[in-house]
Structure 1
């Protein structure tokens, strides 16, 4: 199967990288994209997207459980926001909200073991908002994490084999005025850019921006704008307010910021991956500026992912793409192999 025939974009990236490196790639089970077999010379390695035989089972389970992972990171002195886990909207949840509010902060509410932003609500401030957020999160998990909400920007730092290979900033969609076009015209232009043709096929860079989206109209109104407003040249118009917002409903722009990482933050990301023993890790950090050393006073590590997505590191909406799929394929073949692999010598021994 050619990589362009695969449904999963992550698999397409990896298969394309393997092909360019002279490594054969095929589905382990025809018609099933859960596992791919990469073959180089007389060695074959089975992978599940960005998970390989080098990821210990316990590490993958820890990454899936945000409470356990955060506890380990916190015990090692890494900046992790205060958090608790509840199963419902109870007195413990309300008390935690009150204590966080008294310190001048708000909450983010998220399923304990879900991914991809499902059921995550940001900047929760009131008991009513808390009840709604917990109800939304409960759709995806029986256990729900309440965590101090960190103001700032969202960053994903990708670590492969103990090295930071890419970093991407994610920000709610915005537009920059030119002094000529209306906001409505800017939205139409942005929507024409939301789909990009790439070597792995068409890629949706961000969700379409609907002019009648209540979240967008509310944000515009708060800034004193309408769709007919013509913003001044250079004026940045934010399209989403994050207060009490479900992250899955926010269209985000991705921007490569690999070269902006402060050395301190590079070391923190590597350390977070090492603590959980995850060889290919996506470290989610929230802070105002990734080029400034991260401390608990100015940001925090939100979670560590054991199945990080490569797509927007390779094809960011803004900035330079990074060849992280190539780095991954090279990595899994460049070390001693202990896992679901076959070699010609192994096959010969199994016959005798």
Structure 2
């Protein structure tokens, strides 16, 4: 064992790009020691994690810190790039590794130190569990992660401006663009407003001969009764401005079910609408910059009866299957939850959780690919007429990026010929659907968005001059700014230890020589 417990002398969080790479990194300064001098080699030593024995090995010239950081992050499922383990003038070493946030980097460093101090105890579960909690709490999320990865591959500068919500900046200066999920600096405010109200959108699209499911607003129960007589059954009752299927009730066939559905929809919005139910398959088609990027076909979660077991038991058996071992809703086939929404879906099929399902009868547990169902990539099937139809709808709605929900018996046939309808247009759509399809090619919409914002070979960069030294930095910086100043062609920003200027105009006083002032 060590005579002196290792400690972290100093720590830094380095936002990317930095000397170690284009992405954020975490650097710690620690005492220089080698595992071969202080610890028993880990070769064939068993480590216990989640009641499983796992075997790892290392070489004598790998430091204890490097081994600890790599092993714990691997067990915690944290993607890690270990940059270097280098000596510095103080006789200590810098340990540098990739970290998406200061909180995650600090947790990795602290847990690595704790494991070393324990003498590399066999049971690593406590250290790994704390890492998993930190990763879940402070991670950037899958959409942001894909944006950062695609930006790195393109050589486009990227900065996380805020984590709640995940607001990203790409490029610098006049080439700067922002993205919030699938909404960008180019997203139309009018388009977002129009599509947020389903009733208004359907009325407008119907006027330009786009096949939509026409709807009527329900203000009270008396209107509910009259509309139920007016519409062909079955109908759908849902909030006019909710998302992700919240408050939606399908297959309404009588006044009793309609009243329950109306009250449920009112919990999510004051504006409730009724529309005819369209029969067919559910599709999500995502467009970026007037081009179809991805089409996913939904397959609802379901169970099949055997004539002996209750529905609740069948659902437990389904959740116990290996492919459903997660509650992560960004993953495919997550566990089916016993929610009010599920009970409503069951009631429309005339069953409940205590019903014994007849042999070979299929019971659906969700409306679409969400709530435990699956998504299937189906790009090749979309009929060209349907693509042109959606383009026209998005042009009218003034949306450059959108997810279009369609119900159709067959997307390979024109909607006009088979009764298919556009049921919803989503500004800033969920791109996880296409990245996590259960079958077919996974498509990263974030790449298409970056290619749209920055057509090849554009990288969103501008000339940046950094001046360093002992004396004369401010004077030199001002001279460079003066020499390149040309207001009719470009804007010159200058950040010095005196003040901050834009095109020679003072915008902030004080020492503005730091990184944040230059970035702003």
Same fold at TM > 0.5? yes
Q: CA deviation at 1:248?
A: 11
Q: What is the aligned partner in structure 2 of residue 69 from structure 1? A: 201
Distance, in Å, in 2 between the alignment partners of 1:280 and 1:186 is 40
Unaligned runs of 5+ in 1: none
**SS of aligned partner of 1:55:** coil
Q: CA deviation at 1:47?
A: 1.6
How many residue pairs match? The answer is: 324
Aligned positions of 1:204-243 closer than 5 A = 204-209=331-336, 237-240=362-365
Q: What is the aligned partner in structure 1 of residue 467 from structure 2? A: none
Q: CA deviation at 1:329?
A: 1.1
Distance, in Å, in 1 between the alignment partners of 2:155 and 2:451 is 11
Query: Is 1:96 aligned with 2:260?
Result: no
1:194 to 313, 324, 331: 324
Alignment root-mean-square deviation, CA = 3.6
Distance, in Å, in 2 between the alignment partners of 1:148 and 1:261 is 24
Contact 1:195 1:204 in 2 (8 A): no
Contact 1:172 1:252 in 2 (8 A): yes
**SS of aligned partner of 1:269:** helix
Query: Is 1:17 aligned with 2:128?
Result: no
1:123 to 251, 262, 266: 251
Aligned positions of 1:144-163 closer than 5 A = 144-163=272-291
**SS of aligned partner of 1:313:** helix
Per-residue Cα deviation, 1:209-243 (whole angstroms, up to 9, x for no partner): 36997679886979xx96896x6xxxx9444386x
| Greater RCO structure (CA 8 Å; 6+ sep) | 1
4+ residue runs over 6 A deviation: 182-186, 210-213, 215-222
Per-residue Cα deviation, 1:132-170 (whole angstroms, up to 9, x for no partner): 111111111111111111011111111111111110111
Contact 1:108 1:122 in 2 (8 A): yes
Per-residue Cα deviation, 1:93-125 (whole angstroms, up to 9, x for no partner): 222211223xxx311111111111111111111
**SS of aligned partner of 1:90:** helix
Q: 1:36 to 1:184 in 2, by over 3 A?
A: closer
Distance, in Å, in 1 between the alignment partners of 2:174 and 2:230 is 60
TM-score, normalization: structure 2? 0.55
Distance, in Å, in 2 between the alignment partners of 1:88 and 1:220 is 27
Query: Is 1:351 aligned with 2:503?
Result: yes
Distance, in Å, in 2 between the alignment partners of 1:28 and 1:211 is 37
Q: CA deviation at 1:277?
A: 0.9
Distance, in Å, in 1 between the alignment partners of 2:234 and 2:161 is 46
Q: What is the aligned partner in structure 2 of residue 254 from structure 1? A: 375
2:390 to 243, 264, 269: 269
TM-score, normalization: structure 1? 0.79
Comparing 59-68 with 206-215, which one deviates more in the overlay? Answer: 206-215
Query: Is 1:322 aligned with 2:443?
Result: yes
Q: What is the aligned partner in structure 1 of residue 117 from structure 2? A: none
Aligned positions of 1:73-84 closer than 5 A = 73-84=205-216
Distance, in Å, in 2 between the alignment partners of 1:257 and 1:186 is 29
Distance, in Å, in 1 between the alignment partners of 2:260 and 2:394 is 33
Distance, in Å, in 2 between the alignment partners of 1:87 and 1:347 is 56
Query: Is 1:109 aligned with 2:237?
Result: yes
Distance, in Å, in 1 between the alignment partners of 2:366 and 2:444 is 33
Q: What is the aligned partner in structure 2 of residue 134 from structure 1? A: 262
Q: CA deviation at 1:33?
A: 3.1
**SS of aligned partner of 1:295:** helix
Q: 1:328 to 1:259 in 2, by over 3 A?
A: same
Distance, in Å, in 2 between the alignment partners of 1:211 and 1:70 is 32
Distance, in Å, in 2 between the alignment partners of 1:145 and 1:216 is 19
Distance, in Å, in 2 between the alignment partners of 1:185 and 1:220 is 20
Q: What is the aligned partner in structure 1 of residue 175 from structure 2? A: 43
1:6 to 129, 132, 139: 139
Per-residue Cα deviation, 1:63-117 (whole angstroms, up to 9, x for no partner): 11112211221111011112101233223x222211223xxx3111111111111
